[in-house]
Amino acid sequence: MTVIPLRDRRPLRPPRRPVEPPPALKNRLPSGGPSEEDAEFYRLRARQNWAVLALIVALVLGGAWLIERLATFSRAMACYEFGHRNCMPLKFELPPR
């Protein structure tokens, strides 16, 4: 049960003339597969996509490193502000067994 009756606005019959493809598609040569130009274009796009992915990974890793360093610095500065004397983080190296 619908609260508001809605009329179907679609035409009752199909369009009178067939839909024609745009002129850009008419001039295209029918071929069995992509041309050499298209293949080179897609290779270039793939290389660009890999380069952008590498850049994004580098930015994310650099951002994570920077956040970690800023957090360490912030903890050290808070330690100094409270007047503690041994605020440097200690690095322990376990001897080999």
Q: What is the pTM of this model?
A: 0.52
Model confidence over 32-90: pLDDT tens digits?
A: 566 788 889 999 999 999 999 999 999 999 999 999 999 989 988 888 888 887 777 67
**Could you tell me if 34 and 42 are in contact, meaning their C-beta atoms sit under 8 angstroms apart?**
yes
- pLDDT confidence of 31, banded at 50, 70, 90? low
Q: Report d(CA 48, CA 60) in Å as an integer.
A: 18
Burial state string for 41-55 with b = 16 or more CB within 10 A and e = fewer than 16: eeeeeeeeeeeeeee
Residue-range domain boundaries for the chain? 56-85
Instruction: Please check the confidence at residue 27 and state whether its pLDDT lies above 70.
Output: no
